[in-house]
Amino acid sequence: MWLLDKLLGKVIARGALMVTDHDGKTYRYGEGGTTAEPIRIRLTDRKASGHIARHPQVGAGEAFMWGWLVVEPPHDIRDLILLFSQNANAHDLAASGDGAMKAQGPLRKLSEKLLATADGFNPRGRARKNAEHTYNLTRRLYELFLDEDRQYTMGYHRREDVSLEQAQVDKKAHLAAKMYIQPGQRVLDIGCGWGGFALFLARHYDVEVTGVALAPDQIAFCQERAAAEGLADRVKFHLMDYRDVTGRFDRISSVGLLEHVGTVHYPEFYAHTNRLLASDGVMLSHCCGRAGPPGHTDAWTRKYIFPGGYIPALSELVTQSEKAGWQVMDVEGMRFHYSLTLAEWYRRTVLHREEIVSLYDEQFYRMWLFYLAGAEQSFRYGKMVNWQLLYVKDRAAIPMTREWIEQEAARLRAAQPAPAWSLDPELREAAE
């Protein structure tokens, strides 16, 4: 415990933390005499403190997953991660994107960058394996914490008190409006997920949509949905790498895709999509992003949640797209929205703890909580944002001013039935 004790003594300057080691000895850190209730954690295994201190990239998350670190009620893992994020800049230490403590020495930073770059190498076979790791989990899991349309990206929270379902409808309307879609066009949705956005476009526009993704169960689910809605003749879904798509499209969308492309593949992504798009076409990209310079994905997230994933800085997207001949005509930085989405995903995950444990096990459940809680603090208190960019080849492809976006989004919102909080009676009851 001596190493962790030394580390925590330097890190915790704000708030209060009490740690009870496996032998029953208690340590206190932070503001003495504070009236705030301290966060109390128990280390249940004699190896826990050493593991956390010696492996700052993954140690805290793994200790929580394995049950070696227990947060005592009334607090939970979200509170603990928030405590560390509030102390992130103390004594040259920072909270990583997953909320774990991370030393920032130059050698460690260089090592992390090299490992992240290697992890971002995603040839076709590896890209499919990574996609299956992330998105081919049990269907029921996603039903338990996502909205009814299975939107696994940021909701557009026009107000903080809207339901998750409404925020996701508003997100789809906002994205669709930006694409400036015209009747009869062909649309390519790269990384189509469970098909929600592609089907949304087919319902609201006279267009043909092609969706591609790499997770087999996602594509099977997309095809089932298209058939059930009578849209299978207008929306086609394929289990395919975007690099294997051929043809010509008037509009291209990629929602939550660039995080999985890998920085070394950005030139390939922009060059290939440029070939696919018509000369007067528009490409829309929505992705998680950094409000700052390029960085790297923390080791815990790479290992357990998004292997091969990377959240890009705006400079990386603009620089690489320009090299491929794109013109960036619109950029929107979406602040705080994802933190609200993630907070609701966390709440729904906790609400369905027993079923998630029965589907997987306690370790998976705790891993999922740590992921959601850490991501939430990164978007709420850190420098994570969402980028929405419009790319064109011809500047005349979109109107001169942005009024069309809000006008069309309002039309789409009005045409869409107001969603219920959820089809799940437990969630409806909790919301009311």
How many secondary structure helices (H) and strands (E) does the chain include? 19, 13
Is 208 a domain residue?
Answer: yes
Q: Which of 34, 69, 104 is where one domain is finished? A: 104
What percentage of the chain carries pLDDT values higher than 70? Answer: 84
- The reply to whether 85 and 165 lie within a common domain is no
Asked whether residue 385 carries a pLDDT value surpassing 50, the answer given is yes
- The reply to whether 225 and 307 lie within a common domain is yes
Q: How far is CA 228 from the centre of its chain?
A: 28
Is 114 a domain residue?
Answer: no
Residue 289 — φ and ψ, nearest 5°?
-150, 175
pLDDT tens digits, residue range 122-166?
Answer: 555 555 554 444 455 788 999 999 999 999 999 999 999 999 999
Q: What is the DSSP string of 156-179?
A: --SSTTS-HHHHHHHHHHHHHHHT
Are 1 and 21 a contacting pair, CB within 8 Å?
A: yes
- The reply to whether 41 and 96 lie within a common domain is yes
The structure's pTM equals 0.88
Domain count along the chain: 2
Asked whether residue 3 carries a pLDDT value surpassing 60, the answer given is yes
Is 355 a domain residue?
Answer: yes
Asked whether residue 109 carries a pLDDT value surpassing 70, the answer given is no
- The reply to whether 331 and 191 lie within a common domain is yes
pLDDT tens digits, residue range 290-339?
Answer: 999 998 888 888 889 888 789 999 999 999 999 999 999 999 999 999 99
- The reply to whether 43 and 169 lie within a common domain is no
- The reply to whether 267 and 235 lie within a common domain is yes
Residue 291 — φ and ψ, nearest 5°?
-90, 65
- The reply to whether 261 and 139 lie within a common domain is yes
- The reply to whether 65 and 141 lie within a common domain is no
- The reply to whether 144 and 81 lie within a common domain is no
CATH number where 152 lies: 3.40.50.150
- The reply to whether 227 and 97 lie within a common domain is no
Ordered alpha helix ranges (H), 277-336? 299-304, 314-323
Are 386 and 337 a contacting pair, CB within 8 Å?
A: yes
Q: How far is CA 379 from the centre of its chain?
A: 10
Q: What is the DSSP string of 50-112?
A: HHHHH-TTTHHHHHHHHTSEEEPTT--HHHHHHHHHHTTTGGGEEE-TTS-EEE--HHHHHHH
CATH number where 86 lies: 3.30.1050
Using the structure block, give the residue that is written with the tokens 């959820």. 422
Take residue 387 and report the two structure tokens written for it: 């980028």
Quick one: pLDDT at residue 13?
87
Instruction: Report the DSSP beta bridge partners of residue 187.
Output: 209, 251
Q: Which of 69, 104, 139 is where one domain is finished? A: 104
Question: Which residues form the domain of 397?
Answer: 124-431
- The reply to whether 44 and 72 lie within a common domain is yes
Q: Which of 104, 136, 166 is where one domain is finished? A: 104
Asked whether residue 4 carries a pLDDT value surpassing 90, the answer given is yes
pLDDT tens digits, residue range 245-298?
Answer: 999 999 999 999 999 998 899 999 999 999 999 999 999 999 999 999 998 888
Are 175 and 153 a contacting pair, CB within 8 Å?
A: no
| DSSP code at position 420 | P
Is 119 a domain residue?
Answer: no
Is 410 a domain residue?
Answer: yes
- The reply to whether 29 and 139 lie within a common domain is no
